[in-house]
Chains A and B, each alone.
Chain A
Amino acid sequence: MIKNKSSKPKRYLTTILVYIITVIVCFIFFFPCLWIILAAFSGTGSIYNFNGFFPPNFSLKTFEQLFTGVTDVSGDTVMYPYMTWFLNTLIIACATAVIGTLLLISTAYVISRFEFKARRKLMKGALVLGMFPAFMGMTAVFIMCTQFQLLNNLWGPILMYSTTAPVGYLVQKGFFDSIPTSIYEAARIDGVSNFKAFYKITLPLSKPILVYTVLTQFTWPWSDFILPKLLLQDKSNYTVAVGLMTLPDTEFSRFCAGSVFIAVPIVLLYFFVSKYMVNGLTAGAVKG
C-alpha cells in the first residue's frame, strides 16, 4: 500500500497506457469487421472500386440482390438463391447442434464418470484420431456418401458432423470431472439409476458446458465449407459458405452482405452466452 501511494503519477500513467493499448487492440479486432460491414452496404460490387477501405457510395442494393438472388445483368434469373442456402445452413447447423451435442455430452459424461475396461484405450484412440490431418479422409467420406445415398442430401453433412463430434470430448469430460463424486454416491444410496442420475443430477449442473457445446456444434457447420462443398452438388442444396465461395470476385460486396447476414446471429449468440462459454471452457480446459 505504501509503495502504491508513493508513485501516484506513475499509476495514472499505467492507467492511461492500459486504455491506449486496449483501444488499439479493439481497433485491430474491429476494423476488418467494420470493413466487411461497410463493403456490404457498398453501391459497387468490386472492392477495387473502393477508395481504400471505403466504398465510393452506399446503397442497400446488395442486400436487395442478396435476398432476391438475381444478378444485375438480367434481373430475373435467380443465380444465387441466398435464402435457400440460408435455410439449408440453418437445418444442417441445428440438426448437428442437437445430435452432435447429445452424442458428445453423453460420451464425455460416461468417460468421465464410469470405470470400464476399454476406457483408457478409447481415450488413447481419440487422442490418436485427433492427430490425423482430418480432411485427408474427405475422399473416403465422399465415397461413403455415394454408397449410403447421402450425396446431395442435407443428411450427409449432418451425419458426418455429428457422428465425428464425440472425438473432441476432452473439454466436456474435464467439466464433468469437476463435479464432485459425493453427489452421485448419495444418489446411488437412494437407489437412483445411472440414467436418472445423468439427467436429474448432471444435466442441471451442466448448463455452462451444454451451452458451450451446443454453440460450438452449431458454429462449425455454420461456417464450414469444405465438407458441404464436397457433398452437396446441387445448387439448391448449397450452404451459405459454399454458395458465397462460388461468387465471382467482382461480387465482393454481395459476398460481404451475405457474410454479415450469417455472422450476425453467431455474434449475437456469442455475446449472450459468453459468460457460459468462459465457465464451461475453463472447467473443461483446466482438468482436460
Chain B
Amino acid sequence: MVQRITNYFTALGKVIKNWFIKLGKNTKSFFVNLPRNTKNFFIGLYQIIKHYLITSQYPVYLSAIVMGLGQVFNKQYIKAALYFLVEVGFILFMVFLGGNYLSGLITLGVNQADPILGIQGDNSIALMLMGLVSVVIIIVFIYLYISNIRDCYRTRNVILNGKKPNTFVQGLKDLLDKNFYKTVLAIPLIGVAVFSVVPIIFMILIAFTNYSSSLEPPTDLIDWAGFESFQTIFGAGNISDTFFKILGWNILWAILTTVINYFIGLGLALLLNSKKLKGKVFFRAFPILAYAIPGFITMLAFKFMFSNGGPINYYLKLFGADTIDFLGIDSTWTARFIGLFVNAWVSTPSIMLLATGILSNLNTDLYEAASIDGASKFRQFYKITLPFVVFSTTPVIISQFISNFNNFGVFYFLRGSIYSSGYFVASDTDLLINWLYRLSIDQQNYNIGGAISILVFIITSIISLLVYVRSPAYRKEDTYR
C-alpha cells in the first residue's frame, strides 16, 4: 500500500515536472522561433497566393479581391450574391461599428461621458466587450473569405476538367450530408464563442485593467494597468494571506465533498438496489424529491433551520440544552460540516441515479463466481463493484470535483452575511468563488476578481490535468473519445 502511494506520488511529481519543463520549452521555442515563424508565415502566404495565381485563372484572382466575383464567372450566381452580401455586410459593419469597437479594445475609450450635459462618451467596458465580439466576427469573416477563394478555385478546376460544377441546390444538399457537421456546428460554435468564450476572455482582460470600485463605467474611463491587480493580490499582506487560507480550505472542501458525495451516492444506490429491500420505487422517490427541488430553496431552508432562532435551536432550548451558534462567527468548523452536509443532501441523489444505472450494467456472473470462491460481501464490493464503478465514472468524478471546487451556492446562502477576522472581505468558510463574488460584485473590484478567477482557473486545470493523467481513461489514450 505504502509502496503504491509512494509510486503514485513519484509519478505525480514526474508529471508535474515534465509539464513545467514542457511549458518552459514551448515558451522558449515560441520566442526563439518567433522571427523564423513570422518569416515562414509570410513566405507561406506568398506561396499560397502565388499558387492560386499561377494554377488558376482570373476568376480566383477576382474572388480574392471581391468575394463572389469569381463565382459570377463560374456562373454560380446565387452563391456569388451570397458571398458578395457577406462582404458588403462585413465592410459596413467594420466601417460603422467594428472599427470603433476594435480601436476601443485597445484604447478602452477616449471620450469621457457627461450624462448631466447629455454628452455621450465611450463606455470602456462595452467597447472592450464589443471589440472582442468584433474579433469573433472578423474570424468568421476570414473563414468565409478563405472558403470563398477555395470554393472558387475548386469549381474552376472542375470546370477546367470539363465537368459540370455543383449546382446551388446540390450545395444545399451537401450541407445536410457531406457538410452536415459544419451546418450543425455553426450555430453552437458562434453562440459559445460569443456568449461563453468572449465573456471569459473579457474577464481575463479585466484583470489587466484598473477597473475597481473607484471607477464606474460608463461615465468613467478605465485603462490598461498591466499586472497591477496581481501585485495587489500578492503584494498586500492581508489579501495574499486570505487567498492562501481560502485556497487551502477550498482544496480540502473540493476533495472532501467529492469523496463524501461519491461514496454516499454509491452507498445509496447499493442500499436501494438491495435484494432484501421491497418497495424500491417508493424508497427511491425520497432522494429524487431532494434532487428535484430547486437548490436555492433548500439552501435557504437549511440556513433558516440552523439559524440561531431556528427550529433546531428551538428544540435544544426546549430540552434545556444551550443553543448552538451553528453558523456564527466562531463556528468555523460547525459551519463547514453543515456545509458538507447540505451539499451532500443536494448532490448525492444525482450520483445515486448515476450509480444505479451503472450497477445495473455490472456483470452478475462475477459475483456468482466470487460467492462460490467464498469471498465475503465486503470483499466482493471492494474487489468487484468499486473498481468497476470508479473506472466507469472517472470523468464524472473530475467534473464533480471541478463543480465542487467552484460551489458558490452553499456558503453564499449559509454564511453570506458573515465576515471573519483575519480575512480580507471574506468569511472563514468562503470558497474562492464566494470571495470572488464579494470582491467583484459586492465591492466592485472587478480587476482583482478577474485576477483571482485566472488563478482559480490555473489551479483547477492543473488539478484536473493531474487526475486525468492518472486516470484509467487517460492511460487508454482515449480521453476525448
A and B are interacting partners = yes
Find the residue from A25, A159, A198 having the highest chain B CB count within 10 A. Answer: A25
Q: Which of B281-311 contact A (CB under 8 A)?
A: 283-298, 300-302, 304-305, 309-311
A51 within 8 A of B: yes
Q: Is the CB of B185 within 8 A of A285?
A: no
Please state if A141 and B199 are interface contacts (CB–CB under 8 Å).
Answer: yes
CB <8 Å contact, A270 and B292:
yes
B464 at the interface (CB under 8 A from A): yes
Residue pair A51, B289 in contact (C-beta under 8 Å): no
Q: Are B191 and A288 in contact (CB under 8 A)?
A: no
Provide the bound-state CA to CA distance between A104 and B301, in Å.
33
**Distance from B243 Cβ to chain A, minimum over Cβ atoms (Å):** 14
Q: Please state if A141 and B268 are interface contacts (CB–CB under 8 Å).
A: no
Chain B residue at minimum C-beta to C-beta distance from A241: B296
A186 at the interface (CB under 8 A from B): no
* Complex alpha-carbon distance, A148 and B199, angstroms: 14
B453 and A107 form a contact (CB under 8 A): no
User: Does A107 contact B184, Cβ atoms closer than 8 Å?
Assistant: yes
Shortest Cβ gap from A236 to chain B (Å):
21
Query: Is the pair B180, A110 in contact by a Cβ cutoff of 8 Å?
Result: yes
Interface status of B89 (Cβ within 8 A of chain A): no
**Assembled-state Cα–Cα distance A50/B138 (Å):** 61
With an 8 A cutoff between CB atoms, is B176 at the interface?
yes
Interfacial residues of chain A within 232-261, with CB under 8 A of chain B in the complex: 241, 244-245, 252, 255-256, 259
Q: Are B202 and A140 in contact (CB under 8 A)?
A: yes
Task: Give Cα distance in the complex from A130 to B358, angstroms.
Answer: 24
**Cβ contact within 8 Å between B453 and A141:** no
What size tier do the contact residues of chain A reach? 35 or more
CB-based contact A278/B453 at 8 Å: no
Per the bound structure, the CA–CA distance linking A270 and B353 in Å amounts to 11
User: Which of A110, A139, A166, A279 has the most chain B CB within a 10 Å cutoff?
Assistant: A139
Closest to B291 in A: A270
B339 at the interface (CB under 8 A from A): no
A interface footprint on B406-445 (CB within 8 Å = 1, 0 otherwise): 1010000000000000000000000011001100110000
Instruction: Give the chain B neighbours of A181 by CB distance below 8 A.
Output: none
Give A223 to B293 CA distance when docked, in angstroms.
Answer: 9
Given contacts A47-B304, A133-B436, contact A22 B272 (CB under 8 A): yes
Question: Chain A's nearest CB lies how many Å from the CB of B388?
Answer: 10
Query: With an 8 A cutoff between CB atoms, is A206 at the interface?
Result: no
Contact between B353 and A140 (Cβ–Cβ < 8 Å)?
A: no
Closest chain-B Cβ to A258's Cβ sits at a distance in Å of 9
Given the known inter-chain contacts A116-B181, A139-B446, A266-B292, please indicate yes or no for A103 contacting B126, CB distance below 8 A. Answer: no
Are the CB atoms of B202 and A252 closer together than 8 Å?
Answer: no
| A281 x B354 contact (CB < 8 A) | yes
A164 interfacial contact with B, CB 8 Å: yes
Partner of A136, one of B180, B197, B198, B450: B450
Q: Is B276 in the interface zone, CB < 8 Å from A? A: yes
Task: Tell me if A28 counts as interface (CB < 8 A to partner B).
Answer: yes
B320 within 8 A of A: no
Q: Tell whether A6 is near chain B: CB-to-CB under 8 Å.
A: no
B12 within 8 A of A: no
- CA distance in complex: A146, B133 (Å): 14
B203 at the binding interface (Cβ < 8 Å): yes
Q: Is the CB of A285 within 8 A of B298?
A: no
Closest to A144 in B: B129
Kindly state the separation between the CA atoms of A22 and B457 in the bound complex, as whole angstroms. 40
Shortest Cβ distance from B199 into chain A, in angstroms?
3
Contact, CB under 8 Å: B406 / A133: yes
Taking the complex as formed, is A78 at the interface, i.e. its CB lies under 8 A from any CB of chain B?
Answer: no
**Which of chain B's residues have a CB closer than 8 A to the CB of A109?**
184
Selecting from B16-24, B321-329, B390-398, the interface stretch reads B390-398
The answer, yes or no, to whether A194 is at the interface (CB within 8 Å) is yes
Given the interface pairs A35-B305, A285-B393, the reply to whether A195 lies near B361 with Cβ below 8 Å is: no
Query: Contact: A36 with B301, CB < 8 Å?
Result: yes
Determine whether the beta carbon of A18 is less than 8 Å from that of B436.
no
- Which residues of B lie under 8 Å from residue A14 when comparing CB positions? 276
| A-B CB contact pairs (8 Å), 8 listed | A19-B276, A50-B314, A103-B188, A139-B203, A194-B181, A263-B292, A263-B293, A286-B393
Tell me the B residues contacting A by CB distance below 8 Å: 123, 125-126, 129-130, 133, 173, 176-178, 180-181, 183-185, 187-189, 191-192, 194-200, 202-203, 206, 268, 271-272, 274, 276-277, 283-298, 300-302, 304-305, 309-311, 314-315, 318, 345, 349, 353-354, 356-358, 360-361, 371, 374, 392-393, 395-396, 399, 402, 406, 408, 432-433, 436-437, 440-441, 446, 449-450, 453, 456-457, 460-461, 464, 480-481
Q: Which residues in A have some Cβ–Cβ distance to B below 8 Å?
A: 3, 14-15, 18-19, 21-22, 25-26, 28-30, 32-33, 35-36, 47-48, 50-53, 103-104, 106-107, 109-110, 114, 116, 120, 122-124, 127-141, 143-144, 146-147, 159-160, 162-164, 166-167, 170, 177, 193-196, 198, 219, 222-223, 225, 241, 244-245, 252, 255-256, 259, 262-263, 266-267, 269-271, 274, 277-279, 281-283, 285-286, 288
